[in-house]
Amino acid sequence: MGIIMLALAVDIALPTHRAGIVIVASALSVAIAVAPLSAGLGSALEPGRFAPYPLDPRRLAVSLGVAGAVGLPGALAVVLGIGLVIAWAATPTTGAAVVAAVLAAVAIILSSQYLVAVAGQLVVSTMARRLVTTVARVVIGVAIAAAITTVLVVLEEREGEALSAIATVLGNSPVGLLWAAPASDLAALIARVLGGVVMVGVLAWGWGWMVARLLETPLRSRAVTSTTGLGWFDLAPATPGGVIAARSLLYWTSDSRYRAVIIALPVAPVLMMLAFAAAGAPLPPLWLVPLPVLALLLGWFSHNDVAYDHTAVWVHVAAPLPGAADRWGRCVPPILLGIPLIVVLAPLFAMWSGVEGALPALLGVSAGLLLTGLGVSSVTSALGAYPAARPGAGPFDQPPTLGARAGWAQSLSLLATIGFMAPALIVAGWGFSQPEWFTVAGIAGAATGVGMLLLGIVIGGRAFRERAPELLTLVMRT
């Protein structure tokens, strides 16, 4: 419905609107094509599932293609094509828009089915399947965000040259080839339509070949491998904090709930940067936004870390484990991930921003937000834990009931982190008028982060030992 409403609002005479059609349609095409992967692999219509039956590969390929057309991705592709036709209605290129829309819808449907078939054949382990699902969801989120941002920019009637440049690039690529066809001159129109025909033909041939191959080749099974050693536990020091750090690192590298965060964390800063740009903020200084936001979210994520352990937390409760060791060990993975990112990315972002002297502030404030967030999380994960998805659950799975406690814990931990870092953030703001304040802000931010981390570990450690039975009861109910 939203696509149809946007199509009705398009003024095809405006260059920005024509460029917006290409960008939005291209972004949504990518989202629709990968949509089946976001729901997990193992579709009932995978070609390999029909291998036991004596079916003709060509007929099966056609049948599965038709089945894909009547599914959700097919319906969305058809709606997107209808939107293109509506936008170009009552113009001399209406016929070309119809042809382009049909070809584009078919291309999206075939691409979607081909991706599912290939992923189902290549991705065999549970970890890899969940990773593919998570990446697909991130791609969909970024594509939808790009489409929304484009619409906002078009409505503001700004950045016409930038939109046209992006639309030109997309229009010369397979993603936007057909969406740009109605806006082209005769020669380019013919070339794009012929290119679309070739693209659909290649996809159809590839789909038929894939179906025939999967009917003859059994699905791959997961290979059994043997490993030696204790992994992260071999590398960690033989101390209570070191053991907790090793187990936390194991979670961060193997648990789908943590991997989803690692993949999705960069999306929020990018979306925030795009939102500011759409609102009219100058682009170069916006490069100072993503890194602090990323550091803030990375530190904040651990605010419910205890609940993620589920029943494994009983080991911490039963053993004579110092609370501070538990708190410190859980902080190690975000620090090992966040500090190198800050050190590597801060010089680049400071240079791209063009703001004189901003590097010290960007380094110190980002590190401060990360460490302060971990300090606050060390306390809130002991005092304000709430039910979380069980280990092994999908990255987007949630327990049946969360209640208001979850909202309060999430909000207060985030606001507390920002509040403790407010002085450094304010001083950093002064640096835009007097650059010497940037150095002061960097020192203040780093000092605040270290202090809050140590304080949070001490307070959170005591709270963890005092509330250990209650925490164990909480995770057992999850």
| pLDDT tens digits, 260-309 | 777 777 777 877 776 776 666 776 788 888 899 999 999 998 888 887 77
Q: Which residues does 259 contact at the CB level (< 8 Å), separation at least 6?
A: 130, 131, 134, 252, 253, 395
Rg (CA), the chain: 26
Indicate if the pLDDT at residue 252 is higher than 90. Answer: no
| pLDDT tens digits, 17-54 | 888 888 889 999 999 888 888 766 555 566 666 666 66
Average pLDDT over residues 367-378: 95
| pLDDT tens digits, 160-218 | 677 788 888 888 888 888 988 888 888 888 998 899 899 988 888 887 877 777 776 65
pTM for this prediction = 0.63
In this structure, of 18-22, 255-259, 470-474, the range with the lowest mean pLDDT score is: 255-259
The predicted structure's pLDDT at residue 421:
95
Average pLDDT over residues 9-24: 79
Question: For 128, phi and psi rounded to 5 degrees?
Answer: -65, -40
Torsion, CA 178, CA 179, CA 180, CA 185, rounded to 10: 60
Indicate if the pLDDT at residue 118 is higher than 80. Answer: no
pLDDT confidence of 224, banded at 50, 70, 90? very low
- DSSP symbol at 223: P
Mean pLDDT across the chain: 80
- The residues spanned by each domain of the chain are 2-216, 233-477
pLDDT confidence of 391, banded at 50, 70, 90? low
| pLDDT tens digits, 419-438 | 999 999 999 999 999 999 99
DSSP codes of every residue in 158-206: --HHHHHHHHHHHHTSTTTTTTTGGGS-HHHHHHHHHHHHHHHHHHHHH
